[in-house]
Structures are given as structure tokens and as C-alpha cells.
Amino acid sequence: MHIVRAYDEDLKFLSSRIAAMGGLAERMVEQSVAALVNSDSASARKVVADDAMLDAAQREIDDKAVAIIARRQPLADDLREVIGALRIASDLERVGDLGKNIAKRVVAVTAQQQPIRLFRGIESLAELALTQLKDVLDLYASRDVGALGAVRNRDDEIDAMYTSLFRELLTYMMEDPRNITSCTHLLFCAKNIERIGDHATNIAETVYYIATAEQMPADRPKGDKSHVVTLA
């Protein structure tokens, strides 16, 4: 066990910065989806601008982790804490990028009126993905390893909803070719949200590694079936 108070503070700094990154990433995704649904280009631009803050936070964590390794030469539990923080920060940075990508498509999607049910599908998918992300970040804080399997497996729900939405958007494009451009953008938005669930799964696996020094058992099979979707 390390006994230096400054060392404790270094590790606490990493945890607190991960929590801050997680909050910002969640907010960016929420705001990007709201901007999409409400045709709010101003909010979309804010999300794009906020991505620089998330990138800066990741660099800060990277720099701190390297400094801890160089100065403290951590072993066992402490080394896993540092490596885990690096991994989680990388996943959260990617979540922010995915939110930014959704925001960038707001103008193109809302240039043509789309059925409200399509936006409701995007909202529901985002709600599932954000719930999973929030839950896994809570487990990072609590280290409740027993709940990690259930959180990881919940990604199946996200994959199933994404596949259903993928099919619905394809059908809508086939019904009227004028919908192809905006629905293609919506497809990309839906895929970005589905990927957020994948990053939440990655974080769950990292938390398990931090807490147990082992990998989570049995890789969960990928549930995204959009590559085999056929339309009658």
C-alpha cells in the first residue's frame, strides 16, 4: 500500500477528472440529440465547440497519468487505476466525438421535415445509451463489480433498437427517394449513438479489470444486426 498523501491525491485527481469528463460527454450527447429533434442549430454549434474542452480534459489525464507512472512507479492496484483512467478517458473522448458528429448533421437532417416517429426512435436510442453510460460511470466510482455484467449485457437492447431503427429508416427512404439524404444523415446519427453503447461496454470491462486484475469473462457477442437487414 502506498502511504504518501500526495500519491493519494494524484489518484483521486484522476478519478475526479474522469467523473468530470463523463459528465461533459453525457451532456454533449444529450444536447446534440435535443438539437437534432428541435432543429436547434445554435445548440448544435455549442456541442461542436464543447468538444475542445473534452479533448483538453483527456490530455490533462494523459499527462497526469504519465507523471504518476514516472514519479511513483505504481504497482498492482495503483498501476491498474492509472492504466484504467487512461483507457476510460479515451472512451469518453470518443463519446464526445460521436456527440459532435451528431451535432454536425443537425442542419442537413432538419432541412427537410421528417416524421416525428423517426426522431422519437433516435431519442429512445439515445436514452438507452446514455443510461448505460451513466450507470457504468457510477460503477467506476463505486467499484460495484457485481453489477458490471448486467450493465454490459444491456448493450443488447441498444443493438436491437438500433437495428429496428435502421430498418425503419431504410423503408422510409424506399417509399420516397426525396427522403434519402436526410434519412442517410439520421442513419449516421443512429450509428453514432449505438457506438456510444459500445464505449460504455468498454468502460465496464475496464472497471472490472481495475477492481479484479482480470478480464471480464466471455466476450459478449455483438448484437448489431443491421448488416443482415432485408426488406420484403
What does the pLDDT read at residue 232?
47
pTM of the model: 0.90
- What's the CATH architecture for 5-228? Up-down Bundle (1.20)
Sign of the alpha-carbon torsion through 121, 127, 132, 133: positive
Contact 14, 140 (CB under 8 A): no
pLDDT per residue of the chain (232 residues) written in tens, 0 to 9: 445 788 889 999 999 999 999 999 999 999 999 999 999 999 999 999 999 999 999 999 999 999 999 998 988 999 999 999 999 999 999 999 999 999 999 988 877 777 788 889 999 999 999 999 999 999 999 998 888 888 888 899 999 999 999 999 999 999 988 889 889 999 999 999 999 999 999 999 999 999 999 998 866 555 566 655 555 4
Query: What is residue 27's DSSP assignment?
Result: H
CA dist 82 to 14, 18, 24, 138, 215, Å?
8, 11, 21, 18, 16
pLDDT tens digits for range 137-194:
999 999 988 888 888 888 999 999 999 999 999 999 999 888 898 899 999 999 999 9
Cβ burial, residue 30 (10 Å; 0-12/13-18/19+): middle
pLDDT for residue 117: 82
- Say if residues 40 and 158 touch (Cβ distance below 8 Å): no
Domain boundaries, the chain: 5-228
Residue 60 Cα distances to 55, 93, 106, 134, angstroms = 9, 12, 30, 22
